[in-house]
Amino acid sequence: MHDSVNGPDVRHMSPGTRILVAISGGVDSSVAALILKSEGFQVIGVTLKIWEAFPSKDAKAVADSLSIPHHMVDVTEPFQNEIVEYFVNEYRQGRTPNPCVLCNAKIKFRYLIALKAELGAEYVATGHYARVSFESSKGRFLLRKGRDATKDQSYVLHRLTQHDLSSILFPLGNLTKEQVRDAASGAGIPVADKSESQEICFLAGTDYRDFLSGYENQVIEPGPILDAAGCLIGKHKGLPFYTVGQRKGIGIPGSKRLYVTKIDASRNAIIVGEEADLLSDGLEAGDVNWIAYSTPPHRMRLGIKIRYNAKEVPGLVLPKSQDMAEVVFDTPQRAVTPGQSVVFYDNDIVVGGGIIV
């Protein structure tokens, strides 16, 4: 029995099972490795190098302090091709991408799982706050929220497939951040006091707008700022500098605050309005990945999360095709933003999720 180790077929894992653990150099992944090691598994640390000057030396230090082997794998090329390009293109088209969501599915877990076979391991583990379980009645692996509601990261994992989930372990799924920190300092892990990571990992401190400005092929053209009626009321610095719901940086004085309500790439225009104009009754999602179903029901009442840092709200999810769905909120929501992910929950189960059109 390994209660703290959450994942598929945990009960059948015998001590000595070889598990690949992604080590980022942060607290969470360190503790994930620590837990698995203390449970008697054969732990191999892997750090994906997604970007030059990344990661810090911490990853190797953590692995050393845990006395586990450590591999550094260079994935800078696929990361560049699939994530950075996507990131830049989305902005170019007036959408607001969430690169972390795509990276988890297309880079992080894909390469870890590929490596798993190469290194003769049975499972892949990360320090995410989420859980995986196998639902025998459906014959499917389910992704669930982490027990610590304030740290739950299931949102950024909603694009994982059944194949991915079948070999993923989330050792922190039942723990709170506090317990994780305690475990880290108790074990003398060098990064125990490290603060939460933030911002886009590959930008490491630099402003994403500076990054976009300096990016080759990126076209940043100033254009008109229009009001709801279509009247020209100002000039913007380039679509990538704005996101729906934004109010800072518009620079137009007035009696009421103005917010970006829409980005119209075809006219290279930013549309602004008042806060009430940000409300939407629903949305349409594309690229939907269903986890809880192979073919979803036509109509589901679910919890809906329209951005990483958003409260889940109730509503209807109406699948339109295998990868498209319409969502109707019980009450209108603020700043539905194209490009961001929308994730559907049935209590703590991630039913699926897609990208807002």
Does the protein bind RNA through residue 280 (CB under 7 A)?
A: no
Helix boundaries (H) for the chain = 27-38, 58-66, 76-78, 85-92, 99-103, 109-118, 162-165, 177-186, 208-214
Residue 100 contacts RNA per CB under 7 A: yes
243, 280, 289, 333: which one contacts RNA (CB under 7 A)?
243
Q: Which residue's CB is nearer to RNA, number 112 or number 115?
A: 112
246 binds RNA (CB under 7 A): yes
For residues 259 and 272, is the Cβ–Cβ distance under 8 A?
Answer: yes
**CA-to-CA distance for 251 and 230, rounded, in angstroms?**
18
Residues 4-33 that bind RNA (CB under 7 A): none
By CB under 7 A, tell whether 99 contacts RNA: yes
Q: Which amino acid makes up residue 112?
A: L
Give the one residue of 208, 274, 316, 323 binding RNA; rule: CB under 7 A: 208
Whether 103 is catalytic is yes
* Radius of gyration for the alpha carbons in the chain, expressed in angstroms and rounded: 22
- Tell me whether residue 231 is one of the annotated catalytic residues: no
CA 101 centroid distance within chain: 3
Selecting among 100, 201, 265, 328, the annotated active-site residue is 201
- Assess contact for 73 and 48: CB atoms under 8 A: yes
Place of tokens 């349409």: 284
Which residue of 2, 18, 71, 209 would you call a contact of RNA, by CB under 7 A?
209
Among 109, 202, 241, 290, binds RNA (CB under 7 A): 241
Residues linked to residue 303 through DSSP beta bridges, in sequence order: 314, 345
Phi, psi of 46 (to 5 degrees): -130, 135
197, 204, 210, 276: residue in contact with RNA (rule CB under 7 A): 197
Our finding on whether 335 is near RNA (CB under 7 A) is: yes
Nearer to RNA, 146 or 352 (CB): 146
Given 63, 103, 130, 292, which residue is catalytic? Answer: 103
Whose Cβ is closer to RNA: residue 42's or residue 275's?
275
Tokens 């059948």 identify what position? Answer: 12
Distance CA 60, CA 187 (A): 16
Q: Which is nearer to RNA, 249 or 297 (CB)?
A: 249
Residue 62 or 335 with smaller CB distance to RNA: 335
Between the CA atoms of 32, 33, 37 and 38, what dihedral angle is there, to the nearest 10 degrees? -40
Find the binder of RNA among 118, 178, 199, 210 (CB under 7 A): 199
Residue from 25, 45, 55, 97 binding RNA (CB under 7 A) = 97
Number of residues in contact with RNA, rule: CB under 7 A?
A: 50
Report residue 246 as tokens.
């934004």
- How buried is residue 264: exposed, middle or buried, by Cβ count under 10 Å (0-12/13-18/19+)? middle
Q: Which stretch binds RNA (CB under 7 A): 70-78, 92-100, 115-123, 344-352?
A: 92-100
Sign of CA dihedral 247, 91, 321, 146: negative
Q: What is the set of active-site residues?
A: 103, 201
The binding site for RNA (CB under 7 A) comprises: 96-100, 104, 126-128, 150-151, 153, 156, 196-201, 203, 207-209, 237, 241-259, 307-310, 335, 337, 340
